[in-house]
Amino acid sequence: MRTPPRLQPLVDEGLVDSVVRQLMSGKEALAYVVRCGDETRCAKIYKEANNRSFRQAVDYTENRKVKNTRQARAMAKGTKFGRQAQEAAWQSAEVDALYRLAHAGVRVPTPYNFHEGVLLMELITDAHGDAAPRINDVPLTAEQARAHHATLLLQVVRMLCAGIVHGDLSEFNVLLGEDGPVIIDLPQAVDAAGNNHAQRILLRDVANLRGFFGGFAPELLQMDFGPEIWDLYQRGLLTPETPLTGVFRKQEGQVDLGGVLREIDDARAEEAARRLRMLAPG
């Protein structure tokens, strides 16, 4: 196919030999299947901020590091330079998270290069060598749902042990590769220790997994892994080998009304985003 303008710099630099086809168009990026020497890879082109439906909410960007204080001041003031710096930080967040998580043993696409706003990474494939489907497009048995849910919970734990919360984890951001589920789309990843919203975001991620896989294995709907994982993390007891029960006894205490209202707002926003994703072309 004809090389998209945003991919031409990678071709000119010799990072990409040819573009095979468009793979998908999502809320934040376009993805293409490309050839790099003898390998087939994925090139993710980030959309401009005004063409993205996913907002850079302060919940996600809180405590993200920038290169210098000039950038930080410009971002706080909302100047043109500040908006450009904020956009660059948003894009590099996924790149940084992918390298960090891959090193920690989390099953994410292996990143290879980031150039001119394009992320070059591993193409996740199925048993036939074709691009892997999103897990929400695959019919599952109850046994498969339980197995994939357990696998993804382990990945969530590995991520948290590496200091990262996905931030938008659901059946729409998981591919079913030949070797099992692979987590994708991490530009909204948050710092577990430095972001005040990390607990709430992690609980929502885990609840999304429970809701989806519970549709195939209803007993999962009775499990409460999110609070258990966060409690272990806060107490310094969480490792990838830590056994989870799915049972958590909430501590008695004063109700955090503000937190409850934020949860309601988040749930409404997530449901609206979910409906948009279901209407979007695959």
Q: What residue spans of the chain are helical by DSSP H?
A: 8-12, 58-61, 69-77, 80-103, 142-161, 198-214, 225-234, 257-279
CB proximity list for 57: less than 8 A, separation 6 or greater: none
- Tokens of residue 61, six digits: 């960007």
Is the pTM higher than 0.85? no
HSE-up (13 A, CA, CB side) for residue 154: 17
**Amino acid occupying residue 251:** Q
- Read off φ and ψ for residue 261, nearest 5 degrees: -65, -40
Range list of β-strands (E), 13-96: 18-25, 29-36, 39-46
Question: CATH number for the domain including 97?
Answer: 1.10.510
Positive/negative CA dihedral, 163, 234, 201, 198 = negative
State how far the Cα of 173 lies from the Cα of 202, in Å rounded to an integer: 15
Tokens 């990390």, residue located: 198
User: Structural domain of residue 11, as residue ranges?
Assistant: 5-279
Which parts of the chain register pLDDT below 50? 51-56, 64, 66, 71-76, 82, 254-255, 282
List, for residues 61-94, the tens digit of each pLDDT value. Answer: 555 454 555 544 444 455 555 455 556 666 778 8
Q: What is the dihedral of CA 262, 263, 269, 272, to 10 degrees?
A: -150
HSE-up (13 A, CA, CB side) for residue 131: 17
pLDDT recorded at residue 66: 44
- Tokens of residue 39, six digits: 């390998």
CA distances from 264 to 29, 153, 172, 224, 259 (A): 28, 24, 21, 18, 9
List, for residues 219-266, the tens digit of each pLDDT value. Answer: 999 999 999 999 999 999 999 999 999 998 776 554 455 555 566 666
Residue 176 near residue 133, CB atoms below 8 Å = yes
pLDDT recorded at residue 92: 79
Residue 162: is it exposed, middle or buried by C-beta count within 10 angstroms (0-12/13-18/19+)? middle
Domains: count for the chain:
1
**Amino acid occupying residue 143:** E
3-state secondary structure of 206: helix
State how far the Cα of 200 lies from the Cα of 259, in Å rounded to an integer: 8
pLDDT recorded at residue 56: 46
pLDDT recorded at residue 12: 95
pLDDT recorded at residue 149: 98
Residue 109: is it exposed, middle or buried by C-beta count within 10 angstroms (0-12/13-18/19+)? buried
State how far the Cα of 175 lies from the Cα of 92, in Å rounded to an integer: 22
The DSSP secondary-structure symbol of 47 reads: P
pLDDT recorded at residue 52: 46
